Amino acid sequence: MIATIKRIIGRPLTSRARGLARTFHDLTARAGDAQRELLRGFIARNADSQFGRDHGFGEIRTAEDLRRRVPIGGYDYLEPYIDRVRQGDTRALFGADTRVLMFAMTSGTTNRPKTIPVTEQSLRDYRDGWTIWGVQAFDAHAEMISRGLKPILQIASDWRESFTQGGIPCGAITGLTASMQSPIVRNVYCMPASGSRIKDIEAKYYVALRFSIYRDLGTIIAANPATILAIVRLGDREKETLIRDLYDGTIAPKWAIPPEVRRALRFRARIPHRRAARRLEEIVRRTGRLLPRDYWPDLQFLSNWMGGTMKAYLRGYPEYFGETPVRDVGLIASEGRMTIPVEDGTPAGILDVRHHYFEFIPEEQAGSAAPETVEAVDLVPGRNYFILLTTAGGLYRYNIHDLVRCVGFHNRSPILEFLNKGAHFSSLTGEKLSEHQVIAAVQAAQQALGIRLRSYLLLPSWGEPPSYSLLVEGSDLEGGDRDGRLAAEVESRLRSLNIEYAAKRDSLRLGPVRTILVPDGSWADFQRRRLARSGGTVEQYKQPHLIPDLGALALFGVEAPVAT
């Protein structure tokens, strides 16, 4: 009966979602025209803003006009205008009657986090992008919607973490969208909306499990696969606490949950789930562990990033989830969504030509003072590009520093795969080593040695000659000469992947890679420090695998360096 009611009530929502998806695919067939129409709308809407007047929006008619009038820039270029919007002057970036709902905070390149304006239109674009992604993912996994939408676990953060001088909230856009869900939709999501206000990472993850482990979960949505692994590892470690809380209808007092949030959670938490607790007890008795492949046997798919640095984490999935398929959530940031993946098992997605205007800088022109950009329809499969956004959120020719590869086309819209952040290049002697190459080298080395690293980080080390150090937690390489063999394998792979690296090594301008063992728990400490410095959220955090900072090695308590 409940499933029937959910199906009937959910039909209008599903119908709208499928309509959005159809419109999106129709637009990909005329991507060039759709993009230029979108651009003209952005320019006309904000022509009377201060930014528009400063950059001659009244004279812009074409994409070529835009390139002549507006320079390519990052956050720093827009920050003076954004600062005025933070103080309440929305006309600095936007036309009349534009309402700024919040600022999405995300990690900046300096100690100050970026604050990205979220307008009513940019919020609609954000939500519609997720809807288009979601309905296609759910339709591809029929059990997700055959008896009403299966429960979903998605982690959100507080959208009112702070306020500007003008009284506008600053925080995570995920928290705002969660707060806007209708009661019908809200019931599908396991994580209570108040849980977004929990700051302590482990407490938040525990609450997420506490309200989802007894449900017939359909998918977990978390941009970072490291988040998903951290949640389920916590569940295995805290299995006795979880089972007891489910049985008693409680949340253990040891978790650092703000009192007002704990009070908000109490109504739902007080309902015991004794049958589920006994089922979990039986799983632990039978297997000795508490793993999602046992307590969520009908999980349809996992939803997270698969490209760039995220590939390394996916190797840990089979232990916890068996052969559950993975659907990339798309290249998405606080600045906007860039791609919509439509297949499992690939990081590639169709460019979101419906919601933002895009330009692309060919990779080889990235260092140019005035690079020539190309439009979406002019990309060449197999080539790499840096992506620029113009959005309803007040971003114009915004360089997000994401390097993508065009892997093909869907109609006239390119299919893109994220490679790495442009900042994640290191060049001690001109080798121009990329994070993408580091990930590929370490992944191949792990496969060759039959090991799995929870994480790792390659850092430049100054010396005579300079070299690179691969940091690994000690427990990942217990036994034998694995640390030395790992360094040798990574060294070999980097030589084959980067001819400049090989040349510098052959000429002794670079020394060999060495492995450095760091204490267990170093990655968690490193994450906390970076989040505290940048102001980003846990959901946005991406563990880097290459940092071009000669001082970064000093941040770690080194146990034992082992040279090749």
Contact 28, 354 (CB under 8 A): no
Q: Which residue has the tokens 């651009």?
A: 39
DSSP 225: H
Query: Hey, how many other C-beta atoms are within 10 angstroms of the C-beta on 63?
Result: 17
Q: Which region among 47-61, 376-390, 503-517 has the lowest average model confidence (pLDDT)?
A: 503-517
Q: Is 100 exposed, middle or buried (0-12, 13-18, 19+ CB in 10 A)?
A: buried
Higher per-residue pLDDT: 225 or 561: 225
Mean pLDDT over residues 443-467, rounded? 90
Residues near 520 by Cβ (< 8 Å), separated by ≥ 6?
473, 474, 475
Cβ atoms within 10 Å of 233's Cβ, excluding its own: 16
Weakest mean pLDDT among 111-120, 377-386, 417-426:
417-426
Which conformational region is residue 438 in: left (phi greater than 0), alpha (psi within -120 to 50 degrees), or beta?
Answer: alpha
Average of per-residue pLDDT across 486-490: 95
Residue 260 has a pLDDT of 96
pLDDT at 427 over 70: yes
First-to-last alpha carbon distance for the chain, in angstroms, is 65
Per-residue tokens: 90: 């929305």
Overall average pLDDT of the 433-446 stretch: 92
Pick from 534, 544, 474: nearest CA to 115: 534
- Residue-level pLDDT at 564: 41
Token pair of 226 as six digits: 């490291």
Q: Are strands 374-375 and 162-163 parallel, antiparallel or unpaired?
A: unpaired
The dihedrals phi and psi of 218, each to the nearest 5 degrees, come to -100, -40
% residues pLDDT > 90 (the chain): 69
- What local confidence, expressed as pLDDT, does residue 535 receive? 66
What is the structure's pLDDT at 63?
A: 96
Cβ–Cβ < 8 Å for 220, 154 = yes
Q: Is 562 helix (H, G, I), strand (E, B) or coil?
A: strand
Contact 393, 122 (CB under 8 A): yes
Q: Residue 553's CB: how many other CB atoms inside 10 A?
A: 18
Q: Tens digit of pLDDT for each residue in 320-376?
A: 999 999 999 999 999 999 999 999 999 999 999 999 999 999 998 887 888 999 999
Residue 562 confidence (pLDDT): 41
Which residue in the block uniquely carries the two structure tokens 């006795």?
A: 240
Nearest residue to 403 (alpha-carbon basis) of 417, 382, 389: 417
Place of tokens 């999106």: 24
Q: What confidence tens digit (pLDDT) does each residue in 157-199 have?
A: 899 989 998 899 999 999 899 888 888 788 899 999 999 999 8
d(CA 301, CA 220): 8
Q: Which two tokens stand for residue 187?
A: 């019931």
The confidence band for 539, taking pLDDT boundaries of 50, 70 and 90, is low
pLDDT of 555: 85
Residue 8, phi then psi, degrees to nearest 5: -65, -45
Residue 150's pLDDT band (boundaries 50, 70, 90)?
Answer: very high
Contact by Cβ (8 Å): 533, 486? no
Taking CA atoms, 448 is separated from 62, 472, 485, 497, in Å, by 53, 17, 10, 16
Q: Give CA–CA dist 256/482, Å, rounded.
A: 38
CA distances from 225 to 110, 379, 444 (A): 26, 29, 20
Share of residues in the chain with pLDDT > 70 (%): 93
Whole-number pLDDT of residue 509: 75
Distance between CA 261 and CA 250 in Å, rounded?
A: 14
Mean pLDDT to the nearest integer, 76-96: 96
- Distance between CA atoms of residues 157 and 102, nearest Å: 14
pLDDT at 424 over 80: no
DSSP 345: T
Q: In sequence order, what are the residues at sequence separation of 6 or more whose Cβ sits closer than 8 angstroms to the Cβ of residue 295?
A: 213, 279, 280, 283
pLDDT at 132: 98
Residue 467, token pair as written in the block: 């070299």
pLDDT value at residue 552:
86
Average pLDDT, the chain: 90
Per DSSP, the residues of 45-68 read HTTTSHHHHHTTGGG--SHHHHHH
CA–CA dist 331, 360 (Å, integer):
15
| Residue with more model confidence, 62 or 432 | 62
What pLDDT, on the 0 to 100 scale, is given for residue 62? 95
pTM (whole model) above 0.85? no
Residue 265 has pLDDT above 70, yes or no: yes
| Residue with tokens 């805290």, as numbered in its chain | 238
Token pair for 535: 């102001």
Structure tokens that stand for 302 in this block: 């996992």
Spatial contact of 231 and 190, defined as CB atoms under 8 Å apart: no
Residue 410 near residue 28, CB atoms below 8 Å: yes
Position 101: which residue type?
Answer: L
The pairing of beta strand 357-362 with beta strand 384-390: antiparallel
pLDDT-wise least confident of 22-36, 224-238, 427-441: 427-441
Joined together, the tokens standing for residue 170 give: 């600053």
Q: pLDDT category, 58, cuts 50, 70, 90? A: very high
Per-residue confidence band for 2, with pLDDT thresholds at 50, 70 and 90: very low
Structure confidence by residue, pLDDT tens digits, 512-533: 999 999 998 888 888 888 887 7
